């Protein structure tokens, strides 16, 4: 039988590397670096809502940490410390393979980004994973949602819509070949948080957000916070060839993939705005980091988001993006 303390000691205790005090006391202790601000964020994953209850434990742990790392990326922060609030069912608390898988998925990603697990909480109940993350940013330099100004270019990293297409595929709402499905499932289960990119954007971008709820919803947060409007070109939004072929007029999946592209969420790519004077530097950065960065539109004065096709027709989005408390 695992007790609460067996689980903590066995699976989640490691000697601290940078923290002054890690797991095992009433609270962890960390030293604040001079000249830095802290970025603090938390994200919770709930079984049956954010993931299928039978998902592999390493994938689940990876995703729980990845979505938090993505929030650090969107602020331009270097992630440093995390805490983990784990609610486990009776069965999972006694399932050592599951716990081992969970810990290995968590620490694999934590090690990749050199974030340290310094504490948490372990309780019994329906499976629920809460991660809190703390990162550091040069003082006063954070990339906020409120920084966009009229004339800025709007940029997107990577491709959008893959995670939502992966989900539609698993839910049998969309048929994909195995070759088409594999990058979609990777985007859904193992998104790559754009941590290095975020830190490099501190000198280039005016504002940024990570796309967790869909481009329309998340870009709209920038517009509202910055009190500006935007126009984007549907055709310029970066997406896979599997999506492009289904975007053609008259394709039976067209509306579904448009919704994946614009309102799908879960891609954890970055959307940022930057002045035209930084275009060349951003293109160079894309080459250096080997991350595609696409310019999809402009920030303007006014309010609201307009999406145009090349023929100048506005696009209708049937889903506005994910919101836990709005009817879907």
- For ligand ADP, the binding residues (CB under 6 A) are 8, 12, 23-26, 84, 86, 117, 119-122
Between vectors from CA 291 to CA 304 and to CA 43, what angle results, nearest 5°?
Answer: 60
Number of residues that bind Mg ion (CB under 5 A): 1
Q: How far is the CB of 58 from Mg ion (least distance, A)?
A: 24
Q: How far apart are CA 43 and CA 306, in angstroms?
A: 30
Residue 25 vs 54, nearer CB to ligand ADP: 25
Q: How far is the CB of 46 from ligand ADP (least distance, A)?
A: 16
**DSSP-based three-state secondary structure for 138:** strand
What mask of x and - would describe binding to Mg ion in positions 117 to 156, judged by CB under 5 A? ----x-----------------------------------
DSSP β-ladder status, 128-138 and 207-210: unpaired
In the bound complex, which residue of the shown chain has the CB atom lying closest to Mg ion? Answer: 121
Q: What are phi and psi of 287, to 5 degrees?
A: -65, -45
CA 306 and chain centroid, separation: 24
Residue 119 touches which member of Mg ion, ligand ADP, none, C-beta under 5-8 Å by kind: ligand ADP
Between vectors from CA 227 to CA 221 and to CA 233, what angle results, nearest 5°?
Answer: 65
Q: How far apart are CA 47 and CA 222, in angstroms?
A: 29
Residue 120 vs 275, nearer CB to ligand ADP: 120
> Is residue 266 marked as binding?
yes
For Mg ion, the binding residues (CB under 5 A) are 121
Please enumerate, by residue number, every residue annotated as part of a binding site for ATP. 120-121, 145, 212
Please enumerate, by residue number, every residue annotated as part of a binding site. 26, 41-43, 50, 71, 120-121, 145, 210, 212-213, 266
Please enumerate, by residue number, every residue annotated as part of a binding site for substrate. 50, 266
């Amino acid at each position: 039988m695992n007790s609460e303390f067996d689980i903590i000691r066995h699976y989640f205790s490691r000697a601290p590397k940078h923290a002054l005090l890690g797991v095992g006391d009433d609270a962890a202790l960390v030293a604040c670096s001079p000249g830095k601000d802290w970025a603090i964020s938390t994200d919770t994953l709930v079984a049956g809502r954010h993931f299928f209850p039978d998902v592999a434990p390493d994938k689940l742990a990876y995703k729980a940490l990845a979505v938090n790392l993505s929030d650090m990326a969107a602020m331009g922060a270097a992630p440093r410390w995390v805490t983990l609030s784990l609610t486990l069912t009776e069965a999972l608390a006694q399932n050592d393979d599951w716990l081992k898988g969970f810990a290995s998925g968590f620490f694999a990603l934590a090690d990749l980004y050199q974030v340290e697990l310094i504490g948490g909480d372990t309780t019994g109940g329906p499976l629920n994973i809460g991660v809190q993350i703390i990162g550091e940013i040069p003082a006063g330099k954070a990339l906020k949602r409120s920084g966009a100004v009229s004339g800025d270019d709007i940029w997107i990293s990577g491709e959008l819509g893959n995670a939502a297409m992966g989900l539609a595929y698993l839910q049998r709402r969309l048929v994909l070949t195995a070759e088409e499905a594999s990058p979609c499932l990777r985007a859904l289960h193992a998104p790559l948080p754009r941590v290095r990119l975020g830190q490099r954007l501190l000198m280039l971008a005016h504002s940024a957000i990570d796309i967790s709820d869909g481009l329309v919803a998340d870009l709209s947060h920038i517009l509202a916070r910055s009190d500006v409007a935007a126009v984007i070109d549907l055709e310029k939004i970066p997406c896979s060839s599997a999506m492009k072929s289904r975007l053609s007029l008259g394709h039976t999946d067209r509306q579904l993939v448009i919704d994946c592209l614009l309102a799908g969420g879960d891609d954890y790519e970055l959307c940022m705005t930057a002045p035209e004077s930084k275009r060349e530097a951003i293109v160079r950065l894309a080459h250096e980091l080997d991350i595609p960065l696409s310019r999809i539109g402009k920030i303007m004065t006014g309010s609201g988001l307009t999406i145009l096709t090349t023929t100048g027709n506005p696009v209708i989005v049937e889903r506005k993006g994910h919101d836990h408390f709005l009817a879907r």
